[in-house]
Amino acid sequence: MRKPSHSSNNSPESSGAINTHRIPQPSTDVAPEAAWFKSSYSDGTGNNCVEAADLKSTQVGVRDSKNKQGPALVFRRSAWTSFITGVSHGDLPTDAYV
């Protein structure tokens, strides 16, 4: 497996490497504020809240509702659906590990 080049002369496109070191984007750059909605899985106390946004037909954005200008994670819709299904069926732990 090749290591991604950090040289400005070798872009991922020209070197064939996959770009796994992306610069985080503020959630409002990923989707407009009106697109974000609080997840039904949030605990309602304001301490463990996430918001999601439907992006393209194949993507979902996720952000921390306490940091609306903070970074957003973007997942393929199929991966997000599998994650939610696993949590709701008890296949994944729901306890927070700190």
The 10s digit of each residue's pLDDT in 33-70 is: 999 998 776 666 666 788 999 998 889 999 998 888 89
- The per-residue DSSP string of the chain comes to -PPPP--TTS-HHHH------PPP-BHHHHS-GGG-EE-TTS-SSSSS-EEEEE-STTEEEEEETT-TTSB-EEEEHHHHHHHHHHHHTT-S--S---
Model confidence, pTM: 0.65
Q: Answer whether residue 14 shows pLDDT above 60.
A: no
Tens digits of residue pLDDT in 63-89: 998 888 899 999 999 999 998 898 888
Quote the pLDDT of residue 32: 92
